[in-house]
Amino acid sequence: MIFFRVMSKEIFVSTYNILMGFDNKVYDSIENIKKLSKNTNYQFFNFQELRNTDENKDMKKKFQSLFPKLKGSFYIYPKVTCDRLGLGSFSNLKKLNETRVELPTINGPFNPHKYICTESAIFGVISTVYELPNKKTIRISNAHLEIIGNMKYKKKKIKHILSHFKEKVDYEIFCGDMNTVGLANFSKKKLMAHKKQFLNLLGKGFIDVKLPRGKYWTSDIKNNVSPTMKGATTFRKLFVPLGIHVRQRLDWIFVKNLKPTFCDVLYDCVGSDHYPLVAKLKME
């Protein structure tokens, strides 16, 4: 008797905050991400801070040109701005529907953005449901949470996002820039506590895609500073020549009914204060 081994399909997923694409090196980094996705069956590319700028007045058009064969989902404010939502997700699967959720922000004197940045940013999520060839469904949520507020505040934001998800799916990925601020090399226990709280909120069956050994941060503000930050030039002149790192774990990938087989933080991909976080997954 001859037995045939059924090969499970492989999924590639990435999340990358591009810092509004001010540095053109970020587009070289995206090409490197795309190379890693080769030979996988289904791909999901997720980006945060796809905001229209004076240099790139139509980020939707620019990013669609980077992924001409993939279907894009966008949540981008139509005008040139640094404070409005800018999210983009791309996949080679059939898109069934998408949900956009804008998150309320803290206003008034208690919002540090008023003192750190020239404009107070608006955050949110774009969640897209796709159909697999076997008619099963997968939801990919690309989130950008606000940098301010403690974990209690972030939990409220995630609950608000989840309240918009009505459709049951077979597989799920929740990823993006969660802004879990804290120096990674000093706050490992705190970050693990954050991860546990995220998983409890997302629900039964979700797991974290673990970073490889020795790679415990996904952001380093030394690499790049947003021009929207007050005193950005002074900050850059201070940190870069002195070689000062501000390494943080801000970006996460959580999955349900999927088995992680590979994960990496691409430290050789520059152009942003974030590094791309990528993973390969098998369907269970």
Span 158-212, pLDDT tens digits: 999 999 998 999 999 999 999 886 545 556 777 788 888 899 999 999 999 999 9
pTM of the entire structure? 0.88
What DSSP character marks residue 203?
-
DSSP class of 186: T
Of the candidates 115, 173, 167, the residue with the CA atom closest to the CA atom of residue 143: 173
Q: Is the pLDDT of residue 105 over 60?
A: yes
Closest CA to 123 of 46, 199, 179, 204: 179
Q: What is the pLDDT of residues 245-258, one digit of tens each?
A: 778 889 999 999 99
Q: 173: closest CA among 215, 217, 213, 132?
A: 132
Q: Is residue 120 within 8 Å of residue 105, measured between CB atoms? A: yes
Q: Is 267 left (phi over 0), alpha (psi -120 to 50) or beta?
A: alpha
> Which tokens hold the place of 268?
């050789």
